[in-house]
Structure 1
Amino acid sequence: MDTHARTHPDALPAPAWNAYLQEARFEFLRLWRSPSFSLPVLLFPPLFYLLFGEIFGGNRSPEAARYLLAGYSVFGIMGVALFGFGVTVAVDREQGLLVLKRAQPMPPGAYLLAKVAMAMLFSAIVLVLLSVLAATVAGVRLPPLQWLGLVATCLLGVLPFSALGLWLGTLVGGRGAPALINLVYLPMAFLSGLFIPLSMLPGALKSIAPLWPSYHLARLAQRQVGFAEGAMPWLHAGVLLCIAALFLFLARRRLAAS
């Protein structure tokens, strides 16, 4: 009997959580080493906040700086979630990687949980960069609990946009995914009150703003920085939860059929 095979540490089964951890680590490194993803999602929101909020905005008031901080925070995590899920899922489907992963002895849900962890980590980096710019350049002053509330709200907001990105990634191939996501991402950002108050939009556009998930997350984020008076946080949170469940269900059906 080969007792070495039974007693050598390498022969012991790894804990289940280690498989989730390693999958998340590889997913993060995969996108971190892809400049076409990491550079835009990490740098565009802080640069846009600096350019349009401060330089081109002519040193707007502290209130405007706080409003735009909430808007660009939501804008940043939307980009991470939509592109991080949508494009990679479309590419993985096209290259047959999803079929390969199903054949591997992976824990259930490791693929999706790894992508959620990746989106959370990239979003946290974006939020830290925006917060540093807001505090140092724009002169935003918030109590510590409001800073933490803004970050926590936006990180939880990753979930519905990840589900939306996952569904979009099941609709097209790798080449068509960026174009499709941009067709959803940019109008949704501009029509949800992220950059200008909804009161400044035409009446028709203002009336359909609640249809966008970004509107509900923006209301929650704006509340953390002192805006969105009268907003009902539990209602907005409930809508985002329903959106996450809906698109996760639709994406699961598409993936099961493919």
Structure 2
Amino acid sequence: MNTLALPARPNPMRAYLLEIRNEFMRLLRSPSFAVPTLVFPPMFYLLFAIVLNHKGGPQVATHLLATYGVFGVMAPGLFGFGVAIAMDRERGFLALKRAQPVPAGAVLLSRMAMAMVFAVGISLLLLAIGMALGGVRLSAMQAVTLVLVDMIGVLPFCAIGLFVGSLASGQGAPAVVNMIYLPMAFLAGLWMPLSMLPSIVGTLAPLWPAHHLAQIALQVVGATSDGRAGLHVAVLALYGIVFFLAARRRLARG
């Protein structure tokens, strides 16, 4: 008796993995994004924490390891989402994906995964420079925790970037992201301690998500921080949820 073979059930996990693979290949073919994202934070860290650090020694190098790590992981979240989503939306790529049999959220998940991969790469490069050249001394647990903080800490910036990408045009998105990225890095005290900046900057620093991620990273490496890691985690989670929901609502309107 002949029986008709039932069609194989689609495997959602395979679809997600293929989307992540495609995103990885796309970034490999776009060195204009990958190279600056990976090279600039270690280059700046090498300059300010090693070459120009004549008096601070390992203490300053350790402090800047935490803050420049945050500076580094902001980029793949903001640029990887803000610019890429704006261009994809403008070219109709997102509408095309919605029309295909692709699991909901596969595009966003793949880009989040790549942002986290870049965050890990940046964190490891900074650790290598700090420990080899800057006299930074961290335990294995501290080093692993710092990498995890940077890896997970990229997610709120992915949400902010997604919101920017839902609003800005493909040509305007890079300028908008830069207007967020660089001022926030300065005002959050990532380039130099807040104690060296005008008091108003320190007063307003808690407004910026980069400040909260930096406080967590500083606590991990044993540098001076306010010690309120739980509060900072909650604020970062709030930023991520609010901007993700706002971007989702905007994108749903087309």
TM-score relative to the length of structure 2: 0.95
Structure 1 Cα separation of the partners of residues 51 and 209 of structure 2: 29
Question: Which one of the candidate residues 14, 21, 25 is aligned to 1:18?
Answer: 14
Deviations 1:31-69 (A, max 9, x none): 122011001100000111111211133374100000010
Contact 2:163 2:247 in 1 (8 A): yes
**Residue of structure 2 in register with 1:89 after alignment:** 85
Deviations 1:99-149 (A, max 9, x none): 000000111111111111010111111111111111111121111111011
Question: Which one of the candidate residues 171, 176, 181 is aligned to 1:185?
Answer: 181
Q: CA deviation at 1:215?
A: 0.4
Deviations 1:153-197 (A, max 9, x none): 111111111000000111111111111000000010011111211
Matches within 5 A, 1:144-163: 144-163=140-159
Contact 1:53 1:59 in 2 (8 A): no
Report percent identity of matched pairs: 50
Contact 1:77 1:158 in 2 (8 A): yes
Structure 1 Cα separation of the partners of residues 148 and 173 of structure 2: 29
State the Cα RMSD in Å. Answer: 1.8
Matched, 1:32 2:28: yes
Matches within 5 A, 1:1-258: 6=5, 12-58=8-54, 60-258=56-254
Structure 1 Cα separation of the partners of residues 204 and 193 of structure 2: 14
How many residue pairs end up in the alignment?
254
Q: CA deviation at 1:2?
A: 9.5
Structure 2 Cα separation of the partners of residues 117 and 34 of structure 1: 17
TM-score relative to the length of structure 1: 0.94
Structure 2 Cα separation of the partners of residues 229 and 126 of structure 1: 22
Contact 2:20 2:111 in 1 (8 A): yes
Structure 1 residue runs of 5 or longer lacking an equivalent are none
Q: Which amino acid aligns with 1:32?
A: L
Contact 1:54 1:60 in 2 (8 A): no
Larger mean Cα displacement after TM superposition, 233-242 or 14-23: 14-23
Stretches of 4+ moved more than 6 A in 1?
Answer: none
